[in-house]
Amino acid sequence: MPKFEFELMAQLPSHHLPGGRFRNPWPISDGDWRPGGFWRWRLQRMFGGVPGNPPAAAFPRAHPEPAYPHAPAHELRLTWVGQATFLIQLDGLNLLTDPMWSGRSSPLPFAGPARLAPPGLGFDDLPPIDAVLISHDHYDHLDAPTVRRLHRRFGDRIQWLAPLGFAGWLARHGIGRVAERDWWDDVVLDASGGPLRAVALPAQHWCRRTPFAANHRLWVGWALLPATGPRVYFAGDTGYCPAFAEIGERLGPFDMQLLPIGAYEPRWFMQRAHLSPEEAVQAYRDLGGHGALVPMHWGTFRLSDEDPLEPPVRLRRAWEQAGLPVEDLAILRHGETRVLTRRAPRPSR
Ligand code: ZN
Ligand code: ZN
């Protein structure tokens, strides 16, 4: 590496690269992954075959029960819309994570992974949204038509929270009320119980929306830390990495952990960027092993080779094998709402 670049890097946080790009700063165990892996995977898939898509009716659904216009201040009310989209009603605020209501996870309306099951909560049934949290720029997490719809309906009422590199993209859609954050930086929201801190957190992933620009935007998870009341961790998209233990140490324990469990096959290609259900259980433990595990990122878009109904089955098995309390595993159906009224006591550590 040229000396100049080396000196520049010495001043940057370890996940920043010169030129405004980002990277995962820790060593990654990645099987036999190597450049060109994407095409190897697509070829393997073409000749090896993968399980077919189940019909939409195979995915369990529940009638959503959000509170209108807001949930009471002491309550955490969580509704799973699908993939990484949750309506989180917390401390008197209505928050959305990675909002996605479109029929395809794709830049094109007629091609790309189609929705396996309709959104669990209709867009028109949303209560007034106070903040939107974005984890990264992949199409199943950042959907331009949904972003425009939200802005049309709620305007500057919404505080947009995003990782570094998103303000320009949001501005192109007319959105100016944006807080961009780096890993470990926070945004303070005005909630009924006092200030609610939303902290951008490290994850092991990547960003790219066009063939030309990879990792020019950052990827994050988010912690939601109300002054009182339940604490929530939303992981975004992530592979298994040392960040979980550090997040648990610095900000845990959490009362709800929203962890991705799908898009893991084939492992040699996917494990860098996506947790398997077994790794999600390990991540839950690394994060402090406390509160409910709510799985996400399954049963919505087909992005990988596993049977789309397999992730929750494997998760339940791994949970039982780990001897964790059955009541703490909250596998939500599409549209299902889960309510937590009190913050669990902190375990002695
Ligand atoms: Zn992703
Ligand atoms: Zn994803």
For residue range 112-170, what is the model confidence (pLDDT) as tens digits? 999 999 999 999 999 999 999 999 999 999 999 999 999 999 999 999 999 999 999 99
Instruction: Supply the DSSP symbol for 331.
Output: -
Q: Which long-range contacts (CB under 8 A, 24 or more apart) does 170-174 make?
A: 173/144, 173/147, 173/148, 174/148
| pLDDT-based confidence at residue 228 (cuts at 50, 70, 90) | confident
CB 67 within 8 A of CB 74: no
Of 87, 118, 94, the residue nearest 337 (C-alpha): 87
Cut 0.85: pTM above it: yes
Which residues on adjacent β-strands are paired with residue 224? 198, 232
Ligand at minimal distance from the CA of 239 is 1
- Domain assignment present for 158: yes
Domain count, the chain: 1
The one-letter code for the residue type at 132 is: V
Average pLDDT over residues 241-270: 95
Residue 2 belongs to some domain of the structure: no
Can you tell me the distance from the alpha carbon of 288 to that of 158, in angstroms, rounded to the nearest whole number?
31
- Output the average pLDDT for the chain: 92
Cα 249 to ligand 2 centroid, rounded to whole Å: 26
Range of the domain at 260: 68-101+117-336
Check residue 345 and give its pLDDT: 55
CA of 160 to the centre of ligand 1 (A): 19
Closest CA to 40 of 307, 305, 274: 305
Residue 73 domain flag: yes
162 is written with which tokens? 């995003």
- What is the distance in A from the centroid of ligand 2 to the CA of 88? 19
**Residue 172 included in any domain:** yes
Q: Is residue 160 part of a domain?
A: yes
What is the distance in A from the centroid of ligand 1 to the CA of 6?
29
User: Quick check: is 33 in a domain?
Assistant: no
CATH number of the domain at 160, please: 3.60.15.10
Q: 25-28 long-range contacts, Cβ below 8 Å, gap at least 24? A: 26/204, 26/241, 26/242, 26/243, 28/204, 28/239, 28/241, 28/272
Q: Sort strands 256-260 and 292-296 into parallel, antiparallel or unpaired.
A: parallel
Q: 181 C-alpha to center of ligand 2: Å?
A: 20
Q: Is the pLDDT of residue 42 over 90?
A: no
Ligand 1 midpoint to CA 300 (Å): 14
CA of 207 to the centre of ligand 1 (A): 7
The mean pLDDT value for 241-250 works out to 98
Q: What is the mean pLDDT of residues 194-209?
A: 96
Q: Which ligand is nearest to the CA of 301?
A: 2
| Residue 344 falls inside a structural domain | no
Report yes or no on 94 lying in a domain: yes
Query: What is the pLDDT averaged over residues 212-221?
Result: 93
| Per-residue confidence band for 349, with pLDDT thresholds at 50, 70 and 90 | very low
The neighbour count for residue 217, using CB atoms within 10 Å, is 25
**Quick one: which ligand is closest to 272's CA?**
1
Cα(171) to ligand 2 centroid in Å equals 23
**Residue 36 reports pLDDT greater than 50:** yes
CA of 283 to the centre of ligand 2 (A): 17
